[in-house]
Amino acid sequence: MPKTKKSNTGYRTAVQMFFLVFVTLLTINYTLEKTGSAIPFFSVASIHAICPFGGVVSIYQFITTGSFVQKIHESSFILMFASLILAVGFGPVICGWVCPLGTFQEYIGKLGRKIFGSRYNQFIPQLLDRYLRYLRYGVLIMVLYITATTTKLIFQDVDPYYALFNFWSEEVALSALVVLGITIVLSFFVERPWCKYACPYGAVLGIFNLFRIFKIRRSPSTCINCKKCDKSCPMNITVSSGEKVINHQCISCMKCTSEISCPVAGTVEFSTKGEKTA
């Protein structure tokens, strides 16, 4: 059993590291291309070309004028639709498996867990945390409105994702670097703080948790109430409270499942079967 759980964890880690390295090389190569020394046989696309959220912020302008928001590419639209299709089936797997900023926060969180032990990811009172989690929907509405009215990619000025992979560039606004710095500091205390409280694209994908096909499902008949599923969840979701997870914060990381954390086989699974709501 331990070997199986370790290997299942390794699949996700491998996917995360692949995209982290890929995006890093892509952004470095884009910078090198400007000096005429790009890496041969490797794409010179900008980070905007591979960001599905660029498609989201361009929807209004595309519908009304047939054009894209400044710096956004057609590829962003394609990736947006692909990620939404994935979300219908499997939820926000982009957040839990692909997003390099999410991975970056997660690895800083590992240091935070070593420093604070069981207190890590428990510093914010539950009542306050419950309301803070809806802030990202406010961010989403604000970003969509400002982008639609200005036709400019305003979000870049506060985007920690863009700042992380372009911190050496003069195009990165000081405000984005400040937000990135705050995200890094908070990651030592709270797991994935940007994802939980501020990410507008996470807000979009989180909605799909309400009706996605594959869900995290728990079998009460075999559950021993050990709460390991709750403790393993990076988003602080109480998995043990019901028979399926429809929480808008779930990132489909599968850490709570019987394949990784739950000690009873077949008790917490990623599947289409199940009836009751949690």
Q: Flag whether pLDDT at 60 surpasses 90.
A: no
Would you list the domain boundaries of the chain? 2-208, 214-278
pTM of the full predicted structure?
0.89
Give the mean pLDDT of 235-250.
94
Q: Is residue 207 scored above 60 in pLDDT? A: yes
> What average pLDDT does range 259-276 have in this prediction?
84
Separation of CA 9 from chain center? 17
The string of DSSP codes covering 77-146 is HHHHHHHHHHHHHHSSHIIIII-HHHHHHHHHHHHHHHHHGGGTT--S-HHHHHHHTTHHHHHHHHHHHH
pLDDT at 5 > cutoff 60: no
Q: What is the pLDDT of residues 112-168, one digit of tens each?
A: 999 999 999 999 998 999 999 999 999 999 999 999 998 888 899 999 999 999 998
DSSP 216-228: EEE-TTT-----H
Query: pLDDT, tens digit, for every residue of 61-113?
Result: 888 888 888 788 888 889 999 999 999 999 999 999 999 999 999 999 999 99
Tell me what the mean pLDDT of segment 26-47 comes to.
77
